[in-house]
Structure 1
C-alpha cells in the first residue's frame, strides 16, 4: 500500500496529498463518477448533493474544507470533484440508491489494553487506490489513517491513541448532514478518548447509517450503531465487541436493510462463534480471526473473497500508538507495523 507523509497547515496538508497521490485521485474520480452514472446519477446531480452537504461541513468543521481545497489544487482537479469523493457514502443514498455492505470490525479488552481489528471489504477496482497517510499539522496534531486517494479518511488513530473505525449500514433513514469522512476526521482531530468520540458522534448532524467502533489508550471501548436520526451505544459484553453491516440494537433493527445482508449476518455469527470458543483475547488470537474462512473462503467469510473482497486488514493497539496493516487478503499477506 502506498504511504504518504503530510505536514503543515490544513491547506498545505491537502496540497501535498493531492500532489503525491495525483495519479490515484484521478483514477478514483473516473471510477466514482462512472459508478454514479451507472446508477443514473450524473455529475451535476452529484455536485448539487455534495454542495448541500458542504453547508453542514461549513458549520461543523470548516477547517477540513481547506484541506479539500488544497487537495484539489495539488491534484489539479476541481474542488467540487474532490468534495464529492468525500461524499461517496451519502450521494448514492440521498439520490435514492442502496449503499454497499462491507467491512467487519471486532475487538477485545486484553492484557495490554484494548485491541481491535478491521477487515476492509471493497470491490477489486478500489484496492489500488488505498493509501496509508500520516498527518502532522502545524497545531501539533498527529494522525495515521487509511483512505482511498482523495478522501480525508476512512479509519485511523490519533496521537492520543483514539481509534475510529467502523462499518457501513444501508439504513432506511437518510438525510442531509455531515458526510462520514468529515465526521471521522473531526473526531480524530478534536477528541482524545472513546467517550469523547461517542459524545461527538451522538451530537453530530448525521446523514446515513453506520456502526462506529471507538477505542482508546486508557481502555475506553464502544460500538455506536447509528442512523441519521438515532443511535445506540453498545458496551463490551464479556470484554469484546464486534460489528458488521446491520443493526443489532432493538431500537434500530427496524431501520436495518432487509435485502442483500446474508454476508453481514454470516460474518457476525462467525465472529460471535470465534469469540465464544476462546478465552484468549490477545493480539495473535484477534489477528487469526482476520484470516478466518470458516471452511471455504467466499462472500460470507470474515476474510472475504469474491466480487467484494477484503482489500486490507488493520490491527489497532492504541495503548502503544501502533497499527499493523496487511495489504490485500490477510490470509495471504503479512502485517506491517506503523506508529502514529
Structure 2
C-alpha cells in the first residue's frame, strides 16, 4: 500500500506559516532536495551551481509576490535549510531544464479533466488530474492546508516545500497543471510555475485568478486548467509570452501533454511530444470514456476514466516504468476535487493502490452555488 500524503496545516502571516510548514514537513522536504540535487549532479551541477541557478529566480519572485518570497524563507528556517533549497523545490521544472549539460529532460506527464455541473449526476463541478512524474516523489508529496487572514483558505496537493501544485480554495476556485513544451521556452527568466498556481488560489475572484495565469511571464510553457464551483472551466495553454484558450466541449474538458489549440499550433512548435507520445491518446481515452455518461458523471466515473490502463504501461494511469530517458516514472497521484463540497481525494501510486485519502476545506458561503 502506498503511503498517504500527510496533511500539513499552517496559519498566520507568510513567514510564520512558512516556518510551520518547514517544521512539519522537514523530512519530506529534505528528501525532495536530496533527490533533485542528485539528479542535477548527473547534469554536472554541484550544490554551488544549483544554488546559483535557484537564486537567479529570486528577483523575479520578489517582484511577483513579496509574501511568497517571505513564505519560502520561512519554510527554509522551519526545516533548517538554505533558502536556495526551497527555491529549488519551487522552481524545479525550470531548474531541471536549465541545467545546460542535461541532454534528456524528464517531462511531467499529467492528464487533467473537468466535468461541468450540467453533465454531472449531482450537478456539481468535478475537477481531477493524474500527476505523472518521478516514482520517488510519492514519498515527498504533502497536502497543504493554509488558513489565511488575507484571502480565502487554500488546500493544495504539492511536493513538500512547494507552495502549490493542484488544489482549490475556499472561494471554489480549483487548478491543475500539465507539462507542455514549445520552441519559445527558456529564452528569458519568468516566474516559476508553482508560484503562478499558488497565486491563482489566493484570490476570491475567478477573473483575477485567470489574469494571473494568463498574463504572468513564464520561463517555460505549461498547461493550466482553472475552474470555479459555479460552473466555469477554461484550459490555458501557456507559452512563456502568450496564452491560448481551450474550452469545454459539451461540458467536458480534458487535456494531456500536447498543444491542442489550433491558434497555438499555427504560431509555435510543440517540442515536447517526442518525450510524451502517449499524450496523443491519453486525452482521447478519458474523453471517450466519459462522453457517453454525460448527465450522470460522478466522482467514481472520473476516477474510473483516470484509472484507464489502455496500452499500459504507456497509459492514462501509469504503473512504474522507465521513460524515454531511462528514469523510473509513474502516475504518482490521482487528485479528484469537488470544489463546491470542499472535497479533495488523493490516491498515491494509483496504478498499484486505489486507496483514496480524503481532505476537506471549509468553503465560504458565496462559493457554494452550482449551476442547475
The interval holding the TM-score normalised by the smaller chain is: over 0.9
- Give the Å deviation of 1:331: 6.3
Equivalent residue number for residue 217 of structure 1: 229
- Give the Å deviation of 1:273: 2.3
Equivalent residue number for residue 339 of structure 1: 360
- The alpha-carbon distance between structure 1 residues 101 and 20, as it changes in their structure 2 partners (threshold 3 A), is closer
Task: Give the TM-score of the pair, scaled to structure 1.
Answer: 0.93
Equivalent residue number for residue 272 of structure 1: 287
| SS of equivalent residue, structure 2 residue 258 | coil
2:145 is the counterpart of 1:134 = yes
1:192 to 198, 201, 205: 205
1:292 to 308, 322, 335: 308
Kept in 1: contact 2:152–2:169 (CA 8 A): yes
Distance 1:228 1:99 in 2: 19
Aligned Cα root-mean-square deviation (Å): 1.8
Kept in 2: contact 1:8–1:136 (CA 8 A): yes
Distance 2:205 2:51 in 1: 34
Distance 1:320 1:90 in 2: 34
Kept in 1: contact 2:257–2:273 (CA 8 A): no
| SS of equivalent residue, structure 2 residue 202 | helix
Distance 2:192 2:106 in 1: 14
Kept in 2: contact 1:101–1:170 (CA 8 A): no
| SS of equivalent residue, structure 1 residue 133 | strand
1:326 to 328, 347, 357: 347
Equivalent residue number for residue 193 of structure 2: 180
| SS of equivalent residue, structure 2 residue 274 | coil
Equivalent residue number for residue 4 of structure 1: 8
| SS of equivalent residue, structure 2 residue 293 | coil
Q: How many residues align?
A: 337
Gaps of 5+ in 2: 322-327, 362-372
Distance 2:62 2:234 in 1: 28
Distance 1:7 1:263 in 2: 41
- The alpha-carbon distance between structure 1 residues 258 and 140, as it changes in their structure 2 partners (threshold 3 A), is closer
Distance 2:316 2:141 in 1: 20
- Give the Å deviation of 1:18: 0.8
2:117 is the counterpart of 1:106 = no
Kept in 2: contact 1:311–1:327 (CA 8 A): yes
Where in structure 2 are the equivalents of 1:63-142 lying within 5 Å?
Answer: 63-96=67-100, 97=102, 98-109=105-116, 110=120, 111-139=122-150, 141-142=152-153
Gaps of 5+ in 1: none
Distance 1:337 1:204 in 2: 32
- The alpha-carbon distance between structure 1 residues 172 and 18, as it changes in their structure 2 partners (threshold 3 A), is same
Task: Give the TM-score of the pair, scaled to structure 2.
Answer: 0.85
